[in-house]
Structure 1
């Protein structure tokens, strides 16, 4: 039976090639994902390990979550603590570090680096006058205010060199700094496209903390002193609000964090690989069904001479195993290439490192490739084994029984109904996902039943093409199961693409509506890095002649009624002119002193209402009471507990604003925007956005994500194209006698080509219409869930894109028919007529 299976594989090389390609693409996606994520993870971990080479113990601020403690960040580490640690037995060298955000403008005034990875830190010289963390490549270290050193990647990217003056921003105001040196670093953020500027320690402390304070202290042990022994000695001198960790523990934690970060990307990519493989299942099942059908008499003869049902099934599974093994090897090689290609595309954005092919990629390639192929081939093989030898020899088995179709349609209708009910009544994302999956399977089971009426609807159009059109329609509905399996591959891809497009467009519409309805302000000013703004920005903007009203959105950590809750300080006098909040009770009037307004979601969760008294503990630990003077409907732009800035400012050691809302005399215009940006020193770190800019920036992110998903789903569409080609090629092979007879009675080669192309077009459009319809339904169902988080969400049907998707279906059909149509037209009519 093994020799028979091997002979059958070699006898149908061309036909099985498309099956191998379908499986190979899915396997390549899986192995490519594992190779790529493992390579990136390994590069980051090795880069991180380099960073801990000279760290045996690290000391960080620590605060226990005490009910009576002051909320907010833990206190910084002091110079006195650093001196104590330096004197601990076993401590060879001690380094104090302080860091934060630092936006560097390139020579064109644009932000250099990747926003949140644009960092600033201190250069802490050791006994030899050097900081081993940052080896200098050129120049010297910064020694006074107004001097910085730049990382070499940023220097190369921007063209700055020693002696140049750089414009830089930490929290708002622009600083003019002289470049005194260029250094190298193993910092993974810099390797990923960020930037790092070093100040002298005194300047860094002034910018990011207070004089004499550090955000961390690292210690290198003397020779012969273990990390645990040094940590035990340091623990004895640490205050309650600081904790020590060994370098090994830090490295392990960092490796775990990197691994978890990669897991999200890996899961997302593997989902799309699974989709491609799922689509491939239809093609494999189709292929083996046709191959078994073509060998029916051969299999019947084997049964007649003594082969058992198990042996017949086993021969088909051995054939599938061989095909799957070849596809797995090819997929692994292609996946390794994909992983290397993706790594090359990200060159300069991730740390350098070798290509890593993990054992999991090899195991997954063979496991997935062979398992998927054998699973898809099992049912055709089992069917073939069940056919009585005498019936098989006379081909009586060819037509599916009425009973089997009734059973299939009944199961499909039940699954569709259950899936629709679950989708419509879903109260969570998991239930919605389950409902969508069940509904999709139900529709697939029903597809043969749906194909007849939907393809029949195309009859008036096909009549235009005469006899070729009529024959194409009859061929498309002749074997509804095969038509359904072929169309289903395309349906899956277009269901996902359409659903994602509907959701993305509807979310964008909701965000646009929210921005316009919730804000009266003309501009929202914030840091490009989403870090805190200096309070000087709000003061400067308020003093401009063009500005009629301005208010900061100032965050302040607090604890209300014993639970952590962030307060947002606003200008109580102007906030009403800048926002259009919908109040369910109370108002913004008189927002000052001990008054506070809260969003409705917080009010419901905490049991607060108009007039409620709240016991608040501020950042500095002082306690007071607030009275709820209003409850409003919150949104993604404005939510939480709003109080006047005068209420929180006395309790903050350093005020910081998340954003500033601004209303101007002439409204939003390019000229006004330029005036505001100029007043802020044309700062690359500060973003001045109109309401439309806010909406457009979110739309840009949504479209970027959508385009990435389109690219990933393109794999499923490619597999679907192979499925249509496969089906048509087999259909042409099966109908050799019929095609020969048509040629003999006068249908020319053009007519034969047209017939095959129209058949392909009809099947593809059927799959496209079904996929778009399902996608719209799933987009609507998902939108019902999104409405609970985004009140302004409303369903938007992207008619233009849906038309494009339908056109894509037609293109798939036309392209897929090129080879089968050409092959059908080239058949020798006399040989075809006498073929058995």
Structure 2
């Protein structure tokens, strides 16, 4: 039986090629994902470990209970650390956000990846100088070698940078190397002398961290024990360099988990789609060999042996596909690393990592998926009575099996719809995600089971269009519904991919529109000024903007903690006299009056505390001072404005170190390029500050959504490619099955062009059938997800992107046309006499 199975594999190489390709693509995606993420993780871990070579013990200040800020680590504390027995040296470290502009004025790196720190003395072992010297004084700075290479800055150049708004223009005195993974990933590190760093980061005379090196022969644990004995209790937290390296490695691995899971989910989808192709292929192969298998049964082969022969074929196919997929995956992993580097998202240097786990996973996935998909066709073939199979009586599914299938499918679909509808009524969006996901899975399974039943009416709906193509169109429609199960399995592969793509597109576009509407409805200001990395603005920024010519109204937004009725609540300080000209949102009762002790609160907080217009409450500020405030109005909060809004003049006296989140500005002539330039120039064209109008805010949101969708489209493209292979495979085998019929059609007058048209139209109908089901399910899932989002976002409403839906349909049609090229050509080239004689 094994020899027979192997001979069958070798005899059907062309037919099994598509199955091998489908499995290979899925395995390549899985192994490529594992190779890429393992390579990056190991590179970061080794880089992190190397970065802690100069650290034996790190000391950070602790927060005492009921304290407003942590303990201070000053020069006296540093001296005490350095005098501790076993300590060879101690370095005080301070750091913070620092935006560096390139030669064109654009920020280098982005967000949290750009920072500045201090260079210790004239020889800091953490940052070896490769060119120039260490910075000294306010006007000097050193930059990392990666940033120098990307920007072209050299020793002696003047650079522009910013910490919290005001622009600095120091001279580059040195270029250094660093093992900081953030720098390798595209960020930047800028070094100042210690006094300058402490001043610009608002930490004069103090350090964020003290790094201690041990004397020769003293272990990290021994040094930490000596420090614990010598230093005051509960003033610092101590961590050994090894613990820091291990924790960094854990965080690196954890941060890669999300990327790995996303990529593996996409690979799983493509494998899931590939399962339909594999099952379809083996079903058709078994059907074509019905008489052969029946003869084997008649000469003594048992059902188990027949099933094993089919599974052995699947094992051979799966093994070949898994091995080639693993090799392709290694190439994909290397390619992804190079691609990320070419677009500026670099990584620490390191070898390509192909772990034993990756090899095992690739082989297991490829072989198991193939054998699992082939098991049902093999089992079905073994159940065919030999006499019935040899007489070709076992051709169609029984009425009982069809009724059972349709009943099961209807129950799954109905249960899934009920669960999804129930989830949309839940107030807690997080809790609703589980039933929503369960309902979606039930619906997909139910529709897949019902697809043979749905194929007849949906494909019949295309009859008027197909009639235009004459006999070829009529034959194409009949061929598409001749074997509903095969058509359903082929269309389902495309359906699943388009369900996910459409659902995510509908949800993402709806959210994007809702946020854009929120910005346009809530903002009357022409511009919003904020830090590029989302951190705090210096209060100087608001003062400078208020003095710009053409500014008619401006207000900073400043957050602060408070305590009300034994609960923590956020306060947002605004300029009460100008706020009405800068923002607009629905007021449920009372009025939008902010000033003195009169405040406005959002509806959720008002409901929690039982407040309404005219209610009073006592607030405890961050400095422990108490004050009675009056609710002037209750408004509908949104993602831009929520919480308790009070006047800055009321809040400011209770803040020791005030900073602003953003500044809203209204210009006399509205938003214009000239107005934006005047605001930017007032801030010295700071690379750390964003000046955005309403369109900029909407574009930024659109850019994020578009980037997310493009990534998802790219990941799901693999599933669509596998679906294309499924259509090609189905048509090729269908042509093989109908060789005699095609020969007869040629003999009675249908020319080669008509044969090609028939196969192409059949492929087109099957592809569009899958697309209609997928888009329909995707729209439903997009609506359901939107119902959950709507509970958190008042401006949310369902938006159907008809242009993109039309593109999806056109792409499905293109898939059908392209997939039919080879099968149609093969069908047209059949020799009619040989085809008629074929059994």
- Cα deviation digits, residues 435-464 of structure 1 (max 9, x gap): 111111111111111110111111111111
Q: Does 1:202 align with 2:195?
A: yes
Q: Report the Cα distance in structure 1 between the residues aligned to 2:543 and 2:88, rounded to whole angstroms.
A: 48
Q: Does 1:520 align with 2:528?
A: no
Q: Does 1:410 align with 2:413?
A: no
Q: Does 1:288 align with 2:292?
A: no
How does 1:95-134 map onto structure 2 within 5 Å? Answer: 95-125=91-121, 129-134=122-127
Q: Report the Cα distance in structure 2 between the residues aligned to 1:680 and 1:497, rounded to whole angstroms.
A: 43
- Cα deviation digits, residues 19-44 of structure 1 (max 9, x gap): 01111111111111111111111111
Higher mean displacement: 88-97 or 675-684? 675-684
Q: Report the Cα distance in structure 1 between the residues aligned to 2:609 and 2:57, rounded to whole angstroms.
A: 42
Contact 2:548 2:678 in 1 (8 A): no
Q: Secondary structure at the match of 1:77?
A: coil
Please state how far the C-alpha of 1:171 moved relative to its aligned partner. Answer: 0.3
Change in 2 beyond 3 A, CA 1:616/1:92: farther
How does 1:342-361 map onto structure 2 within 5 Å? Answer: 342-347=336-341, 349-361=346-358
Contact 2:512 2:702 in 1 (8 A): yes
Change in 2 beyond 3 A, CA 1:224/1:534: same
Q: Does 1:545 align with 2:542?
A: no
Change in 2 beyond 3 A, CA 1:258/1:9: same
Please state how far the C-alpha of 1:624 moved relative to its aligned partner. Answer: 5.0
Q: Report the Cα distance in structure 1 between the residues aligned to 2:269 and 2:76, rounded to whole angstroms.
A: 59
- Cα deviation digits, residues 548-571 of structure 1 (max 9, x gap): 111111122444444444332211
Q: Report the Cα distance in structure 2 between the residues aligned to 1:368 and 1:535, rounded to whole angstroms.
A: 58
Q: Report the Cα distance in structure 2 between the residues aligned to 1:217 and 1:731, rounded to whole angstroms.
A: 73
Q: Report the Cα distance in structure 2 between the residues aligned to 1:235 and 1:575, rounded to whole angstroms.
A: 53
Contact 2:75 2:205 in 1 (8 A): yes
Q: Does 1:25 align with 2:32?
A: no
Q: Which residue of 1 aligns with 2:429?
A: none
- Cα deviation digits, residues 472-510 of structure 1 (max 9, x gap): 111001001100101111111111111111111111110
Contact 1:81 1:238 in 2 (8 A): no
Contact 2:33 2:264 in 1 (8 A): yes
Q: Report the Cα distance in structure 2 between the residues aligned to 1:303 and 1:812, rounded to whole angstroms.
A: 41
Higher mean displacement: 245-254 or 650-659? 650-659
Count of residue pairs the alignment pairs up: 828
How does 1:208-227 map onto structure 2 within 5 Å? Answer: 208-227=201-220
Q: How high is the TM-score relative to the length of structure 2?
A: 0.96
Q: Does 1:745 align with 2:751?
A: no
Q: Report the Cα distance in structure 2 between the residues aligned to 1:772 and 1:510, rounded to whole angstroms.
A: 22
Q: Which residue of 2 aligns with 1:269?
A: 263
Which blocks of at least 5 consecutive residues in structure 2 are unaligned? Answer: 427-431
Q: Secondary structure at the match of 2:353?
A: coil
Q: Report the Cα distance in structure 2 between the residues aligned to 1:643 and 1:478, rounded to whole angstroms.
A: 72
Contact 2:294 2:390 in 1 (8 A): yes
- Cα deviation digits, residues 693-720 of structure 1 (max 9, x gap): 1011010110011011111111011000
Contact 2:594 2:600 in 1 (8 A): no
Change in 2 beyond 3 A, CA 1:444/1:688: same
Contact 1:97 1:121 in 2 (8 A): yes
1:164 to 157, 161, 167: 157
Contact 2:90 2:212 in 1 (8 A): yes
The two structures, once aligned, show a CA RMSD in angstroms of: 1.6
Q: Which residue of 2 aligns with 1:580?
A: 584
Q: Report the Cα distance in structure 2 between the residues aligned to 1:391 and 1:815, rounded to whole angstroms.
A: 38
Contact 1:135 1:185 in 2 (8 A): yes
2:540 to 536, 558, 563: 536
Contact 1:98 1:209 in 2 (8 A): no
- Cα deviation digits, residues 637-682 of structure 1 (max 9, x gap): 1122323223333333322111101111111112211111111111
Please state how far the C-alpha of 1:601 moved relative to its aligned partner. Answer: 3.0
Q: Does 1:278 align with 2:281?
A: no
How does 1:604-643 map onto structure 2 within 5 Å? Answer: 604-605=607-608, 616-622=619-625, 624=627, 626-643=629-646
Q: Report the Cα distance in structure 2 between the residues aligned to 1:708 and 1:186, rounded to whole angstroms.
A: 29
How does 1:233-632 map onto structure 2 within 5 Å? Answer: 233-236=226-229, 237-238=231-232, 240-347=234-341, 349-426=346-423, 427=426, 428-593=432-597, 595-605=598-608, 616-622=619-625, 624=627, 626-632=629-635
- Cα deviation digits, residues 274-304 of structure 1 (max 9, x gap): 1101100110110000010111111111111
Q: Report the Cα distance in structure 1 between the residues aligned to 2:7 and 2:126, rounded to whole angstroms.
A: 65
Contact 1:38 1:356 in 2 (8 A): yes
Q: Does 1:786 align with 2:782?
A: no
Q: Report the Cα distance in structure 1 between the residues aligned to 2:12 and 2:186, rounded to whole angstroms.
A: 51
Contact 1:235 1:243 in 2 (8 A): no
Q: Secondary structure at the match of 2:685?
A: coil
Change in 2 beyond 3 A, CA 1:374/1:758: same
Change in 2 beyond 3 A, CA 1:169/1:564: same
Contact 1:325 1:370 in 2 (8 A): yes
Q: Secondary structure at the match of 2:159?
A: strand
Q: Report the Cα distance in structure 2 between the residues aligned to 1:273 and 1:33, rounded to whole angstroms.
A: 8
Q: Report the Cα distance in structure 1 between the residues aligned to 2:613 and 2:673, rounded to whole angstroms.
A: 42
Q: Report the Cα distance in structure 2 between the residues aligned to 1:88 and 1:621, rounded to whole angstroms.
A: 39
Q: Report the Cα distance in structure 1 between the residues aligned to 2:643 and 2:117, rounded to whole angstroms.
A: 33
Change in 2 beyond 3 A, CA 1:256/1:602: farther
Contact 2:593 2:599 in 1 (8 A): no
How does 1:639-654 map onto structure 2 within 5 Å? Answer: 639-654=642-657
Q: Secondary structure at the match of 1:142?
A: coil
Q: Which residue of 2 aligns with 1:56?
A: 56
Contact 2:587 2:636 in 1 (8 A): yes
Q: Does 1:35 align with 2:35?
A: yes
Please state how far the C-alpha of 1:582 moved relative to its aligned partner. Answer: 2.1
Q: Report the Cα distance in structure 1 between the residues aligned to 2:327 and 2:89, rounded to whole angstroms.
A: 49
Q: Report the Cα distance in structure 1 between the residues aligned to 2:139 and 2:233, rounded to whole angstroms.
A: 34
Q: Which residue of 2 aligns with 1:819?
A: 822
Please state how far the C-alpha of 1:584 moved relative to its aligned partner. Answer: 2.6
Contact 2:594 2:645 in 1 (8 A): no
1:83 to 76, 79, 85: 79
Q: Does 1:138 align with 2:151?
A: no
Please state how far the C-alpha of 1:518 moved relative to its aligned partner. Answer: 1.1
Please state how far the C-alpha of 1:189 moved relative to its aligned partner. Answer: 1.0
Contact 2:594 2:647 in 1 (8 A): no
Contact 2:28 2:326 in 1 (8 A): yes
Q: Secondary structure at the match of 1:112?
A: coil
Q: Report the Cα distance in structure 1 between the residues aligned to 2:159 and 2:555, rounded to whole angstroms.
A: 31
- Cα deviation digits, residues 513-545 of structure 1 (max 9, x gap): 100111111110001111111111100111123
Contact 2:106 2:687 in 1 (8 A): yes
Please state how far the C-alpha of 1:609 moved relative to its aligned partner. Answer: 5.3
Contact 2:619 2:626 in 1 (8 A): yes
Q: Report the Cα distance in structure 2 between the residues aligned to 1:497 and 1:365, rounded to whole angstroms.
A: 26
Q: Report the Cα distance in structure 2 between the residues aligned to 1:602 and 1:247, rounded to whole angstroms.
A: 46
Please state how far the C-alpha of 1:547 moved relative to its aligned partner. Answer: 0.8
Q: Report the Cα distance in structure 1 between the residues aligned to 2:603 and 2:221, rounded to whole angstroms.
A: 51
- Cα deviation digits, residues 45-79 of structure 1 (max 9, x gap): 11111111111111112215x4x443xx5344222
Please state how far the C-alpha of 1:151 moved relative to its aligned partner. Answer: 1.0
Q: Report the Cα distance in structure 2 between the residues aligned to 1:132 and 1:615, rounded to whole angstroms.
A: 54
Q: Secondary structure at the match of 1:331?
A: helix
Contact 1:69 1:621 in 2 (8 A): no
Q: Which residue of 1 aligns with 2:90?
A: 94
Q: Report the Cα distance in structure 2 between the residues aligned to 1:173 and 1:293, rounded to whole angstroms.
A: 76
Please state how far the C-alpha of 1:620 moved relative to its aligned partner. Answer: 4.2
Contact 1:558 1:566 in 2 (8 A): yes
